[in-house]
Chains A and B, each alone.
Chain A
Amino acid sequence: MPAPTATIQQHEYPNGLVLVAETMPGVQSASFTLLVPAGAAYEAAEGLDVGGGAATMLCEWITRGAGDRDSRELLNALDDLGVSHSESAQTVHAGFSAATLGANLIPALEIFADIVLRPRFDEEEVEPIRSLCLQNLRSLEDDPGSKVIYELRRRHFPEPWGRPSPGNPEDVARITPESLRSFHRAAYRPNGAILGVAGAIDWPRLRDAVGALFGGWERRPEPRLSERPAGPRIDHIARETQQIQIAMAAPAATVAGPDYYRARAAVAILGGYSSARLFTEVRERRGLCYSVYASYEGQRERGAMLSYAGTSTERAQETLDVMLAEFRRLADGGVDLEELDTMRAGLKSSLIMAQESSMSRSSALASDWYFLGRVRPLDEISAAMDALTPESVSSYARTLLKPGELTILTLGPTPLDVKLPA
């Protein structure tokens, strides 16, 4: 007997906020992901220019007291409800996510409505937050694997789409409480915000409760962003570390575009699982490193293939050479049916297993809505995967990895010789 299937429902409120929810049978928990278009990219909006790190500082500030509760009362209230939660600014969005038992979902949403709409903005909190953010930046400097990915994205995506959300020490040191408040006024808006909810939920009650909680949130004009080229394409950051970090990026199809599934397939076959090419060639056959992968990152207007390896100085050149040779082999030689079937099995299994976690479903719902303005049913994804052929993926792979479009960043004691194929 097939398991009872999930139902997906959606509602757009008059202020533009979208609620998209999935009832999951056999699950006691409920989770939500609220995406507000107030990530680090918007720090650079015209007329704002609040400085790198403002989105992160603001995210922290608004959770330190909101509505009737001060900082301590607010966290205690979440603890009383058994809510596991996280708040963080990414590049595009400020994200608020929480998981709890189904019965506590709406009380948890009430607290988050206060956080987003009615933060107290207690000025005494700003210096501790500044200190915390400056220390986070210092810890990031001590963490070469994370540092190299932030710096790769900054170089690859046009500004502001690669802005690191932790910001930079110069800006974090000077951001004023007033500029954080004006950032909140301009960027925290319901038009463009998406609330994904999944798990043990009662749809009519949820829809009404969200309307009551967030209905008063006023629309704001969308802040204007202007794009500027980033770079440099090839770069090295000197650091006395044990390993050299190698990070590369290439442009890829968008989530909404016609080539999305071909792009996901090509990237996964390159480096998405344990028998994928990079793992096999770099780690299993040659023992060059512990960690090596390729992954896909989607933004609305662009997508990217990101690839990473960390390896000791004397093996780094060979690692880079083998990775580039694998990029080229994928572009020139394409993929075969066996690889494609393996890739399909992995992706389909992941999709079905995600049905067991309200947290992963709530974030998938919000993310689908952001990219597509709708939620892709499982059947549609399956059918699109089944329609892929070795030829269709191979022809996409030829366009994926153009040497002139690669961004390559290394971090470690010595730069490497980047020999891009002609």
Chain B
Amino acid sequence: MRFHHATLDNGLEVIAELNDDAHSIAAGFFVKAGSRDESPELAGVSHFLEHMTFKGTARRDALAVNKDFDRVGAKHNAQTSEEDTFYHFTCLPEYLPRAFDVLADILRPTLRDDDFETEKKVIIEEILMYMDNPMSVAYEAAKAAHFGGHPLGNSILGTVDSITAMKADDMRSYFASRYSPANIVLGFAGKGEWDQLLELAADRCRDWTGVHPARDARPVRGRRAFEAILREDDLQQTIVGVADGPPLESDDRYAAHLLATILGDHTSSHLYWALVDPGHADGAEISYQDYNQAGGFYTFLSCEPDDVDDNLERVAEVCRGVMEKGVTERELAQARNKVLARSVIRGERPMGRLASLGFHWAYRRAYLPIERELEAFSGVSVDQIGRLVREWPLWPMTIASVGPTTEVQPPK
């Protein structure tokens, strides 16, 4: 593994972790632009913009964008979160220049009016699709309830109303404010030569301009709210809970990840034994999500409507149990083994490496080789987790409940 980085004159940072054993190379732009950067009127603009970048540039229309990726067999995609928009592809090394030409091109989209109106319809369909998914509805409701008016509670997709009302000019201003080169990291992972990659990056991106934006990232604590949404036709009740956790700036994030694995991994965790193994619920998991100056432990539960209160009591018991007693050495060792093996397996694919590499650089300006990531997990102690749960109590948590009953009473 060889790591390289450079900063272009316009502020765009380029990083690469190169591995001669790889069969492919992954490339991606990490743009610090997500739903937390949106005003209420522009709810969903980051994600809509992600779609619009694929709709055409000065050199390509939408069909040419797709065709030029597909012609060289590049697997391309993009995703938008609360904080980032990530554009990426993986291809065979010999096609990197051609695939990269398309990816760099679409980061300067034309945002044509007629494409904007056509794509609006696609976004609305995507919103409707998620409205048919109870877990998505509960997740959105839980974030909004937890973060209250803070932009981290914003919906990534926006609403049918916000998207319908949006104007192409609003999106153009948003683009100008967030897609400046200094707000973007370009990463490569896999088989490649640094000199060639840097030359390509400079050639395709050196003309990019823009003012470096600031993000409102004041530390935020959630509200421990409760929200019930009626969906009469659902058969199951779906619950999402949120409790605050350490932010991505904190070194406690490794401990937080291990804690979530011990308590709520999909198999053989505390929640698994308390809820899934006995057949009380068909899903019960906890995961840790870190944000700029904020963090959360998310609990996901799916069960029969009549059992919700009993199951929430079981979740509360699991949380209170760890708050009182901490975790054992054995539990920690098992979680560590799981997490380490998953990191190694994920890291064998260039795309798996690219994502952790790029996000780490975007927020910490540091290279995290996989060995160091593994060391960081290995260094977490039982005492550190004990301190973590004192600092970030898991219960009470914000609860959003979605399904055929609204008569849900979370335990105190």
Contacts and interface: CB of A to CB of B under 8 A. Distances in A.
Interface string B70-101: 11111110000000000000111001000000
A143 interface: yes
Interface string B263-301: 000011000010011111111000000000000000000
B352 to A, nearest CB: 9
A274 B73 CA distance: 11
B73 A132 contact: no
Contacts of B24: 349, 352-353, 356
Contacts of B75: 349-350, 353
Interface in A111-169: 127-132, 135-136, 138-139, 141-145
B6 interface: no
A168 to B, nearest CB: 14
Contacts, number: 186
Contacts of A290: 122-123, 125-126, 129
A288 B99 CA distance: 28
A79 B233 contact: no
B66 A279 contact: yes
Interface in A62-92: 64, 71-72, 75-76, 78-85
Interface residues of B, number: 67
A127 B279 contact: yes
Interface residues of A, number: 77
Interface in A278-319: 279-280, 283-291, 310-312, 315
A81 B268 CA distance: 13
A26 B124 CA distance: 45
A29 interface: yes
B133 A143 contact: yes
B279 A274 contact: no
B360 to A, nearest CB: 21
B130 to A, nearest CB: 9
A101 B370 CA distance: 15
A192 to B, nearest CB: 28
B341 A289 contact: no
Contacts of B22: 26, 356
A280 B348 CA distance: 33
B302 A82 contact: no
Given A136-B282, A290-B126, A240 B233 contact: yes
A310 B302 CA distance: 24
B70 A135 contact: no
B338 A289 contact: no
Interface in B183-233: 233
Nearest to B133: A143
A273 interface: yes
B71 A3 contact: no
Nearest to A75: B268
A142 B134 CA distance: 7
A210 interface: no
12 contacts: A82-B342, A84-B345, A132-B276, A139-B236, A274-B66, A286-B118, A287-B121, A287-B125, A311-B125, A345-B71, A353-B24, A358-B345
